[in-house]
């Protein structure tokens, strides 16, 4: 079974106070995701990124891009937690 892919959508432009304009993660957050191995931990991290995006605003295109990335890898998009957009 394939792992949940990184929330990174390969934009990688850190122009919002150190956060990527594509996924909202910092360089440290991107590195931390790579170190996660369990599927629940990876899915929870995606939830963290979603929450961060809601707080920061302006990441509406990420959802569609991440869904395409998951489909390409043959993995279901992790479900949204309650309280997320």
pLDDT confidence bin for 82, thresholds 50/70/90: low
Q: Is residue 78 part of a domain?
A: no
What is the overall mean pLDDT for the chain?
A: 92
Domain membership flag for residue 37: yes
Residue 60 has pLDDT above 70, yes or no: yes
Percent pLDDT > 70 in the chain is: 93
Identify the three-state secondary structure at position 61. helix
46 found inside a domain: yes
4 located within any domain? no
Q: Is residue 5 part of a domain?
A: no
In a domain, 53, yes or no: yes
**14-53 residue pLDDT tens:** 999 999 999 999 999 999 999 999 999 999 999 999 999 9
Residue 19 lies in a domain: yes
- Please give the tally of structural domains in the chain: 1
* Range(s) of the domain holding residue 38: 14-72
| Burial class for 6, CB neighbours closer than 10 Å (0-12, 13-18, 19+) | buried
- pLDDT attached to residue 83: 52
């Amino acid at each position: 079974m394939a792992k949940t892919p990184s929330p990174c959508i390969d934009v990688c432009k850190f122009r919002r106070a150190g956060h990527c304009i594509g996924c909202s993660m910092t360089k440290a957050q991107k590195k931390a995701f790579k170190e996660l191995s369990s599927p629940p931990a990876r899915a929870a991290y995606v939830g963290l990124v979603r929450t961060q995006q809601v707080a920061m605003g302006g990441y509406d295109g990420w959802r569609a891009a991440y869904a395409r990335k998951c489909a390409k890898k043959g993995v279901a998009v992790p479900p949204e937690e309650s309280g997320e957009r």
